[in-house]
Structure 1
Amino acid sequence: MPTVAGRRSSLVADPSAEVGIAATPKKGRLRSDNALTVSPMRKSPRFCSQGSPNSSVKANVEKCVKSLKNLCTSAQEKKLSETLLKPIWDPRDVEQLRAVKEALHVSTAPTTVVCREDEQNRILDFCKKCVQQDKAGSLYMCGCPGTGKSLSMEKVKEALVNWASEILGQSHPQKKPDRTSSSLQVLRNMYSQKQPPGTKMILVIADELDYLITKDRAVLHDLFMLTTMPFSKCILLGIANAIDLADRFIPKLQSLNCKPMVITYRAYSKDQIITILQERLRELPYTVFQPQALELCARRIAAASGDMRKALSVCRSAIEMLEAERRDPISNLNSSLLERIEDQQKPAACGTMKNQVNNMVRIDHVAAALSKTFKSPVVDTIQSLPQHQQIILCSAVKLFRGGKKDTTIGELNKFYVDVCKSTQIPPVGIVELASMCRVLDDQGILKLGQSREDKLKRVALKVDGADIVFALQGIRFFRNCLQ
């Protein structure tokens, strides 16, 4: 009788089993006989050792899954893990607070000036060209306050000193200036006569030219005329906030073909403010601000005035608010019971990361600092305008007190001239006044209409007249103008 293969018998044990299958009647077959129909290519389980391909693939898959779990972390966890690599920032640490406030102080000059490389290189190239050609020249830097004019000028001075030391050496001793005469008079006397061979070029830097504006404009005129004298070797670099100062107060320069080269410093944008703040904070070994907090500060400052000094002031104010919050024991208990239970269940590393985040300057700190700094962005903008633009706004306020909503530039010019005469200030022409009205229109303070002739253009206030009065009433000059 043929042998039937059991469950544990080999599937390739006996070749005569195939014959036995055919000889067994159909009705007499057992259910276990179906095992004999399996293909003879199937191997015995005893050959499936641990080193088989199936087990190695399974091990590789498990290894890949572990690697993916380690790599697939959220962006926030990555940032927090990077934060842990730095020393821990503690707003209660007096030394750390001092270092942060010092880094964000206006008087702290950064090692490199960012976002002003183009203007800085143009100034440096201008000075080098004058020295190489042994030719006098003048350059005028203008822009709103806090746009980096004086800071970039300091870096240019350092670069020029290094460059001059390389090409000239230290062989020529400097003469002591004559203290009995003014510096301007000394230069005028020097350049009115022929200079001996080998005389060095002199670099004159005049910052805050706005304060040199006098009734007869003599000081500014004589200063720029230094570069036109027959034996002049003077390089004059003037810095002021007024964009059209050279055109308004030195009209003779253009006729004498000595109009200065003008470099305009535009207000900082949001991205530039973020870059400058990050550059200052990068020198610290710990992270102080959340990225969203810096972005909020930069966005608000750029929309208001683009004044970098304001941005630094807001950041310092936010630091002080965080400092006061951490020193107050009540404010440290603001977490709910559920949050404390979750913190106990989390690993120690997660708790450390959360503490670091809570110690950073957050959006609410910056928002409070902005609210404290900017009572009204319009008021801040008006206070930073040049004097004649402020007089135009005073004239517009007086003109619209009778209930008028708009007027023409020609009619506004009449009120402007009357205000200037009452204060003994020389007025500008109507062409220059129209140009300043366009500047005020770009800043969102005035609204100009369309016309071929400037004096026929309609003009109206886009801001509340009360904001103009509030911004200028602290100065007696403008208080008298508004009466």
Structure 2
Amino acid sequence: MDRNGLCDDNGCNVPCSPLKQNKLSVATPRKLGFEENLPTSASHMPKQPSSCQRPSPTMKLSPSRQEMPPQSPVLCNPEKKSPVTLLFEDKSRFQSVKQALHIAIPERLLSREAEQASIRSFLKDKVLQHTPSSLYISGAPGTGKTACLSCVLQEMKSDLASVKTVVVNCMSLRSSHAIFPLLAYKLKATGGHSGLQKVLTTPGPTILLILDEMDQLDSKAQDVLYTIFEWPHLPQSRLCLIGIANALDLTDRILPRLQAQPHCRPLLLHFPPYSRQELATIIQDRLTKASAEGMLDTSAVQFCARKVSAVSGDARKALDICRRAVEVAEADERQKASSPRSEAKASLVSLPHVAKVLSEVYGDRMASQSSSSEGGSFPLQQKLLVCCLLLLIRNGKKKEINFGKLHEVYSRLCAKRKVSGVGQGECLALCALLESRGIFALKKAKEARLTKVFLKIQEKDVENALKDRTLLGSILAAGLPL
């Protein structure tokens, strides 16, 4: 499941995507915009890479790869430019577009106003009112979870000046139990676990603890997550907790004991995947801010948005694909640098450039089924997975299906329907997206193929969820594909 850092036009959260796509440059995880006072000389503390250190709240996060600012000279006679002049001018233009398409924290987030309002409300009503509480933020990678939180924290920086803010990206921990000595170091607590608990319950300023990639604290007995979620509800506690993870139902599935204690239940905030139109708007907004609207053809932007929304709705992935397309176009222009050019030139980055990158990232299947996401917000690949799980459940006596078996049936169904399927790795990521929608539930195993998959909703509700009676009916009527 995203590991991200903060704030992106696409809202980023944590890594780029649950999958490691071929040939696509994966961005460095983004970080929350608060200083994470990592231990420097304490040898007993778990060591963390320097990349996990956070900038202070007054600093803006920079892109993972710093680009040079655009420096295109304004020349009056383009007809008289030499090939060398043209080459450097285009290079500067390409640089400005690549910088605009970075996946670090943007100046503003689009299509996440409601989510930002919910986070702002939690900080105002709980943290600033010194009311111990917890908030659990869920959503698939690249949907803006960490990004939104980072932007709201930056916006409310002056209001939160009196609050002790501690940020931890749990991906950097060697084990789930390593969180305790790290927090003890940050809060200057001594005496082990009991000393840390004492600090949280003694008088002092409110402590805001932010745990990004919180699902990494999953342990066999769930003692780590149970303990952390119960901290805000200890007598005299001054802790407010914000946890960020991919799983929609982490607190229901992994922490059932919390459900027996209503006062310990965290507030929930879910980030849905970005739609095609939202992705296109995010990309276009980046180009507009860089004054590079003409660099990417509109049809290329729409094509990229449509394909990414059909698979994941990951805004970081969409931006990275466009950036790769710019690099491909730049390489093409470099090869043609010495050839004459006309003044009225079409967009430098066109649909074929984007299609080439999509083919490298997702495979040839993305070149077909271009209308797969036109019928609604539920992508075709995810619909097929839901149908396959239904078929397996109806055909057998078990409600839980091994992921390996599900992928096998899914692959046969795709072949029968003449739809290019996805590999096991990406299929598991699609299952995770369905889990984030509240339709699937997953029980992880050491081997991915042994992961248990089952429906989280009633079979009769599946039709309403898919909103595609024709597809569902035809697949179920045909039975398991041979």
**Normalised-by-shorter TM-score class:** 0.5 to 0.7
Task: Mark the CA change 1:178 to 1:282 in structure 2 (over 3 Å): closer, same or farther.
Answer: same
Instruction: Output one character per residue of 1:87-129: Cα deviation in whole Å (capped at 9) or x when no partner.
Output: 99977543333332222122x2110111111101101101210
User: Structure 2: how far apart are the matches of 1:330 and 1:424?
Assistant: 48
* Mapped contact 1:191–1:230 kept (Cα < 8 A): no
Task: Mark the CA change 1:304 to 1:331 in structure 2 (over 3 Å): closer, same or farther.
Answer: farther
* Mapped contact 1:209–1:239 kept (Cα < 8 A): yes
Instruction: Output one character per residue of 1:67-94: Cα deviation in whole Å (capped at 9) or x when no partner.
Output: xxxxxxxxxxxxxxxxx99999977543
**Secondary structure in 1 matching 2:136:** strand
2:317 pairs with 302, 306, 310, which one?
A: 310
Shift of 1:265: 0.5
Match of 1:263 in 2: 269
Match of 2:234 in 1: 229
Match of 1:150 in 2: 146
User: Structure 1: how far apart are the matches of 2:400 and 2:318?
Assistant: 24
User: Structure 2: how far apart are the matches of 1:127 and 1:177?
Assistant: 20
**Secondary structure in 2 matching 1:94:** helix
Shift of 1:187: 4.2
* Mapped contact 1:100–1:284 kept (Cα < 8 A): yes
RMSD: 4.9
Instruction: Output one character per residue of 1:2-28: Cα deviation in whole Å (capped at 9) or x when no partner.
Output: xxxxxxxxxxxxxxxxxxxxxxxxxxx
User: Structure 2: how far apart are the matches of 1:141 and 1:316?
Assistant: 29
Question: 2:248 corresponds to which letter in structure 1?
Answer: I
Shift of 1:215: 0.9
Question: 1:296 corresponds to which letter in structure 2?
Answer: F
User: Structure 2: how far apart are the matches of 1:459 and 1:181?
Assistant: 64
* Mapped contact 1:119–1:263 kept (Cα < 8 A): yes
Matches within 5 A, 1:178-327: 178=188, 187-192=196-201, 195-196=202-203, 199-257=204-262, 258-287=264-293, 288-327=295-334
2:356 pairs with 339, 345, 368, which one?
A: 368
How does the TM-score come out when normalised to structure 1? 0.55
* Mapped contact 1:104–1:315 kept (Cα < 8 A): yes
Shift of 1:227: 1.5
Match of 1:433 in 2: 454
Shift of 1:316: 1.0
**Secondary structure in 1 matching 2:156:** helix
Task: Mark the CA change 1:400 to 1:369 in structure 2 (over 3 Å): closer, same or farther.
Answer: closer
Match of 1:413 in 2: none
**Secondary structure in 2 matching 1:282:** helix
Shift of 1:381: 7.5
Give the number of the structure whose residues are more often helix, by fraction: 1
Task: Mark the CA change 1:85 to 1:160 in structure 2 (over 3 Å): closer, same or farther.
Answer: farther
Q: Does 1:141 align with 2:129?
A: no
Matches within 5 A, 1:387-466: 392-396=402-406, 433-435=454-456
Identity value in percent:
30
User: Structure 2: how far apart are the matches of 1:440 and 1:87?
Assistant: 63
**Bigger shift: residues 155-164 or 268-277:** 155-164
Question: 2:98 corresponds to which letter in structure 1?
Answer: K
Match of 2:124 in 1: 128
User: Structure 2: how far apart are the matches of 1:421 and 1:146?
Assistant: 24
User: Structure 1: how far apart are the matches of 2:76 and 2:249?
Assistant: 48
Match of 2:95 in 1: 98
How does the TM-score come out when normalised to structure 2? 0.55
Question: 1:96 corresponds to which letter in structure 2?
Answer: R
Question: 1:433 corresponds to which letter in structure 2?
Answer: F
* Mapped contact 2:403–2:448 kept (Cα < 8 A): no
* Mapped contact 1:212–1:220 kept (Cα < 8 A): yes
Shift of 1:186: 5.2
User: Structure 2: how far apart are the matches of 1:427 and 1:459?
Assistant: 26
User: Structure 2: how far apart are the matches of 1:325 and 1:275?
Assistant: 27
Shift of 1:370: 1.4
* Mapped contact 1:448–1:458 kept (Cα < 8 A): no
User: Structure 2: how far apart are the matches of 1:120 and 1:87?
Assistant: 48
* Mapped contact 1:325–1:331 kept (Cα < 8 A): no
**Secondary structure in 1 matching 2:235:** coil
Task: Mark the CA change 1:91 to 1:147 in structure 2 (over 3 Å): closer, same or farther.
Answer: farther
Shift of 1:324: 1.4
* Mapped contact 1:91–1:323 kept (Cα < 8 A): no
Task: Mark the CA change 1:296 to 1:221 in structure 2 (over 3 Å): closer, same or farther.
Answer: same
User: Structure 1: how far apart are the matches of 2:353 and 2:458?
Assistant: 37
Task: Mark the CA change 1:232 to 1:459 in structure 2 (over 3 Å): closer, same or farther.
Answer: farther
User: Structure 2: how far apart are the matches of 1:131 and 1:458?
Assistant: 54
User: Structure 2: how far apart are the matches of 1:207 and 1:141?
Assistant: 9
Shift of 1:159: 2.5
Match of 1:52 in 2: none
Match of 1:17 in 2: none
Task: Mark the CA change 1:364 to 1:427 in structure 2 (over 3 Å): closer, same or farther.
Answer: closer
Shift of 1:330: 9.3
User: Structure 1: how far apart are the matches of 2:270 and 2:336?
Assistant: 50
* Mapped contact 1:136–1:233 kept (Cα < 8 A): yes
**Secondary structure in 1 matching 2:137:** strand
Structure 2: tracts of 5 or more residues without a match = 1-73, 79-84, 165-184, 367-378, 387-398, 417-442
Structure 1: tracts of 5 or more residues without a match = 1-83, 170-174, 336-350, 406-418, 451-456, 465-483
* Mapped contact 1:374–1:380 kept (Cα < 8 A): no
Instruction: Output one character per residue of 1:259-313: Cα deviation in whole Å (capped at 9) or x when no partner.
Output: 1111110010111111111222222133321222211111111112111111011
Matches within 5 A, 1:35-114: 93-106=90-103, 108-114=104-110
Matches within 5 A, 1:11-26: none
